[in-house]
């Protein structure tokens, strides 16, 4: 029996029991290893397929980042970039379908229905950026699984850790960035029965609590046009504190409105929703009114979150990745270039929780003509529990060398991207031929 705080309305138990039956099997884990190293062109189309000025602005605002570098078309031309640019994290969530050779039939047949009905959540990720996202960039991508490891989880018993590499390229065939997504696969039933987080109580705030939160918000501001020179940065320097939250359903809606979370499963309405339900039936579970709805609603529906072992709904891991980027970008200023960021999501961020962000400089160095600074970042909630941490590498202006150059794309990645993009253009031309 689940812990008392995880119990749901009796009329839901039968529906949840059906949804909780899927298991993480040895057969599925073995089949998943067949996919390692197999890259294919992404056929997905996100909410935004082109990084228009509006899309760039809305992504930043959906993440709670009002930096004019991302949100103001008239501000960008005054900077070194000569234009508005996109929040780095956005590059992984703008997609136009890319043409390419299909996955080999024997691999596709062997992996059909893989991990059907198993719960998946993002537990972290890493980015390598090579150029900024600019207005008008049409983003394509190709991707494949890099690794899969089986482990024991305190939350859900046996689980699998799967890392997927997603290469984002623009319409010129240039690599914008490489996104490695760390996903945890767990059995919904097992995570519910363990009920590790069942004792966590919803947050409650006094006027004094809000005074603390609002004071941090009021002090936040991007460094903007004021250059942060590499020579002026010292190991041990701290970043300006930042706060995010308290988390509400409104914040989750704003994040979706900014462009997140529409593939691969899809949030759909009306007849399109019906067609999606027929396509991926295990992704849909009836709610307390007997209405089919997406399993993804655990990010706003606490009844469903309870069914898989959490006391209430919680955020997306990608939201916290965006927040770390916001923190680094505010500190670094307009002229810097964020080259790398890697984050680890350690605890859930529940509805009502507040995240307090801090960071410090851990190292600085010169590398291939770029003046780099390494940062260590962390988030702590109102319970004083660390929920996420991250590292980042930033290329800063130098008093002697001037503005930081962009990093070079690795040769092997350039070659692979060029081949994938050439094949895309070849297939595109074939479609146009009568």
**Pairwise pLDDT comparison (40 vs 120), residue with the higher score:** 40
The pTM assigned to this predicted structure is 0.89
Give the CA dihedral 185, 191, 197, 201, nearest 10 degrees.
110
Distances (CA, A) of 340 to 75, 126, 259, 329, 373: 25, 7, 22, 12, 11
With beta carbons less than 8 A apart as the criterion, state whether 333 and 403 touch: no
Q: What number of helices (H) and strands (E) belong to the chain?
A: 12, 14
CA dist 56 and 85 (Å) reads 7
Sorted by sequence, the CB contacts under 8 Å of residue 360 that are 6+ apart come out as: 236, 237, 238, 239, 375, 376
Kindly tell me if the per-residue pLDDT of 6 is higher than 70.
Answer: no
Structure tokens given for 109? 């047949």
Nearest one of 176, 174, 135 to 51, comparing CA atoms: 135
Kindly tell me if the per-residue pLDDT of 43 is higher than 70.
Answer: yes
- Strand runs labelled E in 251-318: 284-286, 292-294
Sorted by sequence, the CB contacts under 8 Å of residue 422 that are 6+ apart come out as: none
Structure tokens given for 176? 């914008």
Structure tokens given for 373? 């600074």
Sorted by sequence, the CB contacts under 8 Å of residue 15 that are 6+ apart come out as: 285, 286
With beta carbons less than 8 A apart as the criterion, state whether 134 and 90 touch: no
> What's the pLDDT tens digit per position in 164-188?
999 999 999 999 999 999 988 887 5
- pLDDT at position 5 is 54
The mean pLDDT of 138-165, rounded to a whole number, is 83
- 114: pLDDT confidence band, cut at 50, 70 and 90? confident
Kindly tell me if the per-residue pLDDT of 370 is higher than 70.
Answer: yes
CA dist 355 and 105 (Å) reads 46
CA dist 362 and 112 (Å) reads 45
CA dist 99 and 42 (Å) reads 8
Residue with tokens 């812990």: 3
Find residue 394's DSSP bridge partners. Answer: 338, 373
Kindly tell me if the per-residue pLDDT of 1 is higher than 50.
Answer: no
Mean pLDDT of the chain: 90
Structure tokens given for 359? 């960071």
With beta carbons less than 8 A apart as the criterion, state whether 78 and 155 touch: no
The phi, psi pair for 73, rounded to 5°, reads -60, -30
The angle subtended at Cα 168 by Cα 165 and Cα 170, nearest 5°, is 165
Cβ–Cβ contacts within 10 Å for residue 374, how many? 16
CA dist 37 and 124 (Å) reads 20
The mean pLDDT of 27-39, rounded to a whole number, is 88
Among 115-124, 257-266, 303-312, where is mean pLDDT lowest? 115-124
CA dist 316 and 322 (Å) reads 10
| Longest CA–CA separation in the chain, Å | 70
**Pairwise pLDDT comparison (340 vs 14), residue with the higher score:** 340
- pLDDT at position 330 is 98
The phi, psi pair for 373, rounded to 5°, reads -130, 135
With beta carbons less than 8 A apart as the criterion, state whether 175 and 168 touch: yes
Can you tell me whether residue 413 is helix, strand or coil?
helix
- 190: pLDDT confidence band, cut at 50, 70 and 90? low
The mean pLDDT of 208-228, rounded to a whole number, is 97
Name the percent of the chain lying above pLDDT 70: 91
Distances (CA, A) of 186 to 53, 150, 360: 38, 10, 34
Among 136-150, 181-195, 293-307, where is mean pLDDT lowest? 181-195
The mean pLDDT of 72-94, rounded to a whole number, is 96
Kind and range of the H or E run holding 366: strand 355-367
């Amino acid at each position: 029996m689940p812990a008392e705080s995880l119990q749901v309305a009796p009329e839901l138990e039968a529906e949840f029991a059906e949804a909780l039956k899927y298991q993480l099997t040895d057969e599925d884990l073995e089949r998943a290893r067949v996919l390692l190293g197999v890259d294919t062109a992404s056929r997905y189309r996100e909410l935004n397929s082109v990084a228009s000025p509006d899309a760039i602005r809305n992504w930043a605002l959906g993440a709670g980042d009002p930096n004019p570098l991302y949100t103001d078309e008239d501000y960008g031309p005054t900077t070194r970039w000569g234009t508005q640019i996109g929040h780095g994290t956005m590059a992984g969530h703008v997609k136009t379908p890319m043409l390419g050779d299909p996955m080999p039939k024997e691999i596709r047949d062997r992996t059909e229905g893989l991990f059907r009905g198993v719960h998946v959540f993002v537990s972290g990720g890493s980015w390598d950026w090579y150029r900024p996202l600019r207005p008008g960039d049409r983003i394509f991508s190709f991707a494949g699984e890099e690794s899969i490891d089986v482990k024991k989880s305190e939350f859900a018993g046996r689980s699998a850790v799967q890392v997927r590499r997603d290469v984002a390229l623009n319409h010129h065939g240039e690599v914008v960035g490489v996104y490695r997504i760390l996903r945890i696969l767990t059995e919904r039933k097992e995570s519910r029965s363990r009920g590790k987080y069942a004792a966590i109580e919803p947050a409650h705030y006094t006027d004094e609590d809000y005074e603390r939160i609002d004071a941090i918000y009021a002090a936040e501001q991007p460094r903007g046009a004021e250059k942060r020179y590499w020579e002026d940065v010292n190991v041990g320097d701290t970043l300006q504190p930042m706060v995010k939250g308290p988390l509400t359903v409104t914040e989750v809606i704003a994040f979706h409105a900014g462009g997140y979370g529409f593939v691969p499963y899809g949030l759909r309405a009306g007849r399109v929703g019906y067609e999606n339900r027929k396509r991926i039936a295990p992704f849909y579970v009836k709610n307390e009114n007997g209405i089919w709805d997406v399993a993804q609603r655990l990010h706003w529906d606490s009844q469903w979150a309870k069914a898989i072992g959490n006391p209430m709904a919680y955020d997306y891991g990608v939201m916290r990745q965006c927040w770390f980027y916001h923190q680094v970008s505010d500190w670094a200023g307009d002229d810097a270039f964020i080259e790398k960021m890697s984050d680890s999501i350690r605890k859930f961020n529940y509805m009502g929780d507040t995240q307090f962000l801090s960071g410090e400089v851990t190292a600085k160095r010169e590398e291939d003509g770029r003046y780099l600074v390494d940062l260590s970042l962390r988030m702590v909630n109102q319970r004083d529990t660390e929920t996420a941490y991250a590292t980042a590498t930033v290329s800063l202006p130098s008093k002697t060398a001037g503005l930081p150059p962009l990093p070079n794309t690795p040769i092997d990645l350039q070659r692979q991207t060029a081949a994938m993009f050439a094949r895309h253009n070849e297939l595109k031309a074939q479609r146009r031929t009568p």
